[in-house]
Amino acid sequence: YTDLLPKMVTKVNCDFAPATFHSEVDKVVIMENLKPEYRSADMKKQLDFAHCKLVVATIAKYHASSVALYSENTKQIRFVGQESFFPEGGALKRWVELGTRTLGEELNKLEGCKEYADFFLSRVDSIWDVLVKCMKPQSGRLNVLNHGDMWINNL
């Protein structure tokens, strides 16, 4: 937040994140209060097309800025793809497996969805390893930083 993100914002001239401020406390980030101009969207309503377009355009700038910074200095971004985001699985691994299993079980209850249910249920035990492999940077490929928590409360 305090080093990489400001560089990304500057690179594409797009404020896709709140400003950060220096903190004397280790591992503490002080972020700009967005409340004065911020309105939370209703989680029960879908975004209209104009807002979806804005989200896609903004996240594209986020991705592009990460590629641009990586091309200038690979060390600057390389640490982001390390295992620290997936430490031994833990609660996130169980959550992903449970979500995959639940989706399969719910699809099983719907007429005409057995094929899709079987698809998800057959992958419960391997989904985590596939996800971790997909999230790791791949040599010789175009790699971008992923937002990782793109839902209505974070827009």
* pLDDT at site 63: 92
Q: How far apart are CA 7 and CA 9, in angstroms?
A: 5
How far is Cα 97 from Cα 108, in angstroms, rounded to an integer? 17
Q: Of 80-84, 91-95, 137-141, 145-149, which range is least confident?
A: 80-84
Q: Is the dihedral angle over the CA atoms 75, 22, 63, 84 positive or is it negative?
A: positive
Question: Highest-confidence range of 9-13, 35-39, 67-71, 123-127, by mean pLDDT?
Answer: 123-127
pLDDT band at 73 (very low <50, low <70, confident <90, very high): confident
pLDDT for residue 52 is more than 80: yes
Closest CA to 152 of 63, 59, 46: 46
3-state secondary structure 118-131: HHHHCCCCCHHHHH
- Name the most confidently modeled range: 58-67, 77-86, 103-112: 103-112
Predicted structure pTM score: 0.69
Q: Which residues contact 143 (CB under 8 A, 6 or more apart)?
A: 67, 70, 81, 137
The pLDDT value recorded for residue 82 is 57
